Structures are given as C-alpha cells and as structure tokens.
Chain A
Amino acid sequence: MGAALYRLYWFFREDVGAIPGRVIAFVFIALIFLLPLVNSEPYLLRILILMSIYIIFAVSWDFLSGFTGVLNFGHAAFFGISAYATAMLNSNFGWPAWATIPVGSFIAMVMGLVIGAPALRLRGIYLALVTLAFPIMLQGLVYAFPDYTGGELGLFGISPLAFSRIAEYYIVLIIMLLSVLIMWKLTDLKSKMVRTGLIFRAINQDEITARACGTNTTFYKFLAFAGSGFFCGVSGGLYAHFIKVVGPSTLELLFSFNAILWTIFGGMGTIFGPVVGVCLLFPLTEFLGVHPLGEEIRFLLLSVVLILTLLFMPEGISVWVLDKIEAECPRCKLTNYARRKKCRACGAQLHLEHGGE
C-alpha cells in the first residue's frame, strides 16, 4: 500500500508536475469532476454537458483532418446521421439510450466509410468540397421525407439520458474523457502499442513515400474516417438524448464549420487543441447570450475574437501557449518547464545562447 502510494507520488511529481501542459490538463479534469459538488445549477451543468458533447465532436474532426490532412468540411454529416438514427430508434421502437447510441455511432462509422470512398481518388480542396456535399444532401433528404424525419421541426419525444441532471453530467463527462483518451492514444506519435499516430502523420506529409515504405495507406485512411465517424456518432447520439429534439440544424453547414473553427482556434493536429478551443469559445458564446445586449453582439464578438487570435497566433491558441511554457530538451527530447535552465533528466542546457544549433 505504502509502496503504491509512493509510486503514485513519484508519478505525479515526475510525469505530471514537471510538465506544465499536463498540470493544466490534470487541474482541468479535477475541476470539472468536482464542480457539481460546489455548484449544481441546472443551467451551468447544461452548458458543461453541451461543452463535453462538442468536445467529442471537435476532437473527432481533428482526429481525421488534423492528422491525416484529409480535410473534412462535412463533419456534421456524422453528427446528424447518428442523432437522427438515435432519435428514430428511441422514439419509434423505444430502444433505451445504451442501445441507441452505439447503433447510431455504428451507422455514423458506416457513413464515414461511404464518405471515405471518394477520398481514395480525390485530394486536397477537391475532397474537402465533396465532403461538404454529404450533410447538405442529407439535409435535402430530411426536408424531402418529412413523414419519417419530422421535416423542419425535427423529431422529438426522445427519452432523457438519465433521470437527474447530475447523473447525465457524469455520464457525458466520462464518455467524453474516454473518447478523447482513445483518440489521443491512437494519434500519439510516441505510443509503443499502436502505429496509427505515426502512419496518419506520414499520410499527411508524404503519402507516396508512406506507400513506398509498405504502408497500406488506403486501409489507414479508411480507419481514420471510420474512427472519426464513430466518435462523432457518439457525440451525435449523446446530443439527441440530451437535447431531446433532433432537427435539420444538426446537419447545417455552419455546424460543420463550428468543428473546424474550434479546432483551428485551439490548435490543429494536437487533440488537446480542439478541447481548449471548445472550452474557451462555447461557454463564451453561451454566457454572452444570457445578457440582452450580449445576445445581439455575441457572434459579432466571436468573429472579432477569432480574427484577432488567428492573426497573432495562426497555429492556434494552445500551441502558442505551450510554446511559451514548455521547452523540449535538445539532447533527450524530454519536455521541460520553459523557465528551467537545464533539462530535468539529462542536465543538458535547454536554451542555447544564440538561439539555434
């Protein structure tokens, strides 16, 4: 027991405490877990639940586009198809939430494979515009068959996720953390278990070389599409059961762009970037909406904030901040706190006098 505690202490001291980025992540997770004990106002929890759902949504976009470089402009297609499938299964057949969300996610995953098929022939901006077409075509279908889809009003009468707001909060929170953890592990460059992180980056940087090295890039592209579709489907299903109304707005163009916007704002190709982006931008717009004057100008303010941020930190806000507080040791590649003079492991000088080799 004592030995285990001692190891835990060393883990926190060496693997969390020494790296500023991890300290921030740890404090953030602890805060969102403990928050309902301090303040369980339903409105606040509602915003945090939606925030968690959108985190899964944005991270799943980053999982596909940030790493493989396959720009997906129609991410709402996954979200919407899963939300509609979940809603239909629940309100027509009475399936409970634990059954509808996996089925909805599975359907979104199949949708990912369908959208992924043209990805084999197209690249860059061409592919981006084909993916743009899918949610709009789905939206056309929604309007064309109002008997099944509810048309403009959408589907309602969906059963809630759980009976109390706090239970819903913890369910969504745990699913969010799990999804983000899985996607983070899958794209981790230094991972010893899976090679996907390395291969996704290789596809982004030079697909031909990756193929020449014997990687089946087709398979990995499909994998990225399927994974992204699946996790986006999870967020769509959670959304359907939480909001309890699914309308055509889940397939809207601007909704797809929201995922891109949050991710670019936070930092693309990082997994933690979209989390930061959603956590900063989504509550900002929601809290501004409460105030009568804020309601009018919130999107105005949002676009100004966005333009200014991107002008001064085009890599995204989280990458910019991490650059300021973390430094990589030039000898052993270990991440250090930027104010240190020497690497905490090998003692090499962190900052060279003349800035560069």
Chain B
Amino acid sequence: MLIQILITGFVKGGIYAVLVAGLSLMFGVARILNLSYTGFFMLTAYMVYIFSNFTSVPLIIACPLSILGTTILGVVSYRLIIDRVKAHELTVMIISLALSMLFQEILLIIFSGDFRGIPPFKEGFFELGGVRVAYQKIFTIIVSIGVIGALEFLLARTRLGVAIRAVAQDRETANLMGINVNRICLITTGIAMALAGIAGVMVSPLLPLEPHMWIPPLLVILAAIVLGGLGSLKGSIIAAFILGYVETLVVFLIPLGAYLQGAFVLGVMAAVLIIRPEGLFGLVFEEERL
C-alpha cells in the first residue's frame, strides 16, 4: 500500500508538475492566465488516440506529431485571439475558457461523450516489494523528471532562458535591454503549449479520455500555481507534487474519496493561503500601487 501510494502519487505529481510548469511560465512571462491551457492538453490526448486508432503511424512518430500540432494550435490561438484582448485581464480568462469549451464541444460532436482509452505504450509490469508497477508509470515518471530537468536547463543556462526570466522580472527594463518582449511572450506560449502536449501524451494511456477531462487538472494546476507562489516555477512544481500526493492519499485512505479529491486539494490550498497569503515560495511584495 505504501509503495503503491508513493508511486501513484509520484505519477500524478509528475503530470501535474509538467502541466503547471507551462501555465506558471505563461503567467509569469506573458502576465495572462490562459485557461484554455488544459484544453490543449486534452486535444493532444485525443490526437494520440486518433493516431493510434485510425492510422498505423507508429507511436514514436505519432507522439511528437501530436505535441507539435498542439503547439502550433496554441501559438495560433494566442496570436489570433488572446493577444488582442490582453489589456483586459478578465476578458482573457473568459475568452480562454470559451476556447476550452469550444474544444470540448467539438470533441463531443465528433467522439460523443463516451470514455475512450489507449493501450499502454508498453505492456507489462514488474514487481517492487510485492506491488505490481506498470511500465507505463515508470515511463511517465522518467519523462516528467526529464522534461522538468530540460526546462530548468533552458531557463538557467541558455540565452533564451535568460531573456524569458528577464521579461518575467521586469518587462520594461527587459524591453530597454533590447529584448523583443512580444516575441518572448510568443515563444513562452509555444514552450508552455508543448509542455501541455507532453503532459497530454503522458496521460493518454493512463486516464480515460472524455471531452470534460480538461476541468479537473485545470483546478489542480491553478491551485498549485497559487500554492507555490505566483511566478515561482520551483514553488509551483513542488506544489504540484504536494497536491498529487494529497489526491492520492484521499483516494486511497478515505471512503468515497474519489468525490472528495477536488475538495481536499482546494481545501489544502485555501488553508495554506490563509496562513501564508503569498504562497509557499512566493515573494512578499509591498502592496502594489498604480
């Protein structure tokens, strides 16, 4: 049981961490809360489903293609829709939510509301301390660690990463230093959408696919962003793992736990915020004045 909780929690936490990294990046750099983000995550999962069920494209090509497709769609939607209403914070949220609903409805019309699944990328399992661990879960864990490591490397060691961090810290100064802020925002959106795509690929064999699957992860990653402190990538990734474990513990230990997952996740978030309003790793700012 303990090992099972540890592994399931890590798998969930890893998926949430990859997802939250993208949203946190987008929020930190472009200063918008793009709620269509998990819609793209869902789209990728469905693309993998289409490739594996209706074509004979091998998975090794199908997965990168789906991620690429999502990234392009995400950047185009940012360029065509969200970029134009950027000045109105709430309008961005509503319009991106409407975008997610649009995806949901399109998928409902094409695939109906049935639950669909994809066979695991690699069948089989091995035993660890008397518990069966599917290869699929190990694959998910390795990919999530790899992706987060690569993202850290990108942000810490490359010129692009420095530019992204500079824009996140201070847009105006970054602009004065000759950084093309708009282009950095666009690139960041692209990276974020690719992360959503990777998470979608990872999740496709693990969860049943249905057109409402974008809502629960959206709640969790919003909670993780706030819990970790807005704009702190490290904080939100740690928060994602914490929330992944909270969900797993609730499901394993409490009867009817599946219904209470969301309640517990948000309860933890609310409790932490009331004690520490800036989140776990957030910086304390003086109250902002206009």
Contacts and interface: CB of A to CB of B under 8 A. Distances in A.
A303 B98 contact: yes
Residue among B98, B99, B223, B264 with the highest chain A CB neighbour number at 10 A: B98
A304 B259 CA distance: 32
Nearest to B84: A311
B176 interface: no
A129 B81 contact: no
Given A126-B226, A300-B105, A143 B256 contact: yes
B109 A132 contact: no
Instruction: Place the interface of chain B in its size category.
Output: 35 or more
A204 to B, nearest CB: 11
A315 to B, nearest CB: 8
Interface string A307-326: 10011001100000000000
B101 interface: yes
A122 B277 contact: yes
A257 B102 contact: no
Nearest to B226: A129
Given A130-B273, A140-B262, A303 B102 contact: yes
Contacts of B61: none
Contacts, number: 115
Interface in B216-262: 219, 222-223, 226, 230, 256, 259-260, 262
B105 A257 contact: no
A23 interface: no
A297 interface: yes
Main SS class of interface, A? helix
Given A253-B219, A307-B95, A136 B266 contact: yes
A253 B230 contact: no
Given A208-B287, A314-B88, A300 B102 contact: yes
A143 B279 CA distance: 29
Interface in A279-324: 296-297, 299-300, 302-304, 306-307, 310-311, 314-315
B284 interface: no
B143 interface: no
A125 B229 CA distance: 11
Contact of A268 (B84, B90, B223, B260): B90
B101 A137 contact: no
B257 to A, nearest CB: 10
Given A257-B97, A261-B94, A300-B106, A140 B273 contact: no
A276 B290 CA distance: 31
Given A133-B270, A140-B264, 7 more contacts: A126-B277, A208-B287, A253-B215, A254-B215, A261-B97, A300-B102, A304-B102
6 contacts: A126-B273, A129-B269, A133-B223, A140-B262, A140-B264, A260-B93
Query: Closest 10 CB pairs between A and B?
Result: A140-B263, A133-B266, A143-B259, A300-B105, A303-B102, A303-B98, A306-B98, A137-B263, A303-B101, A140-B260
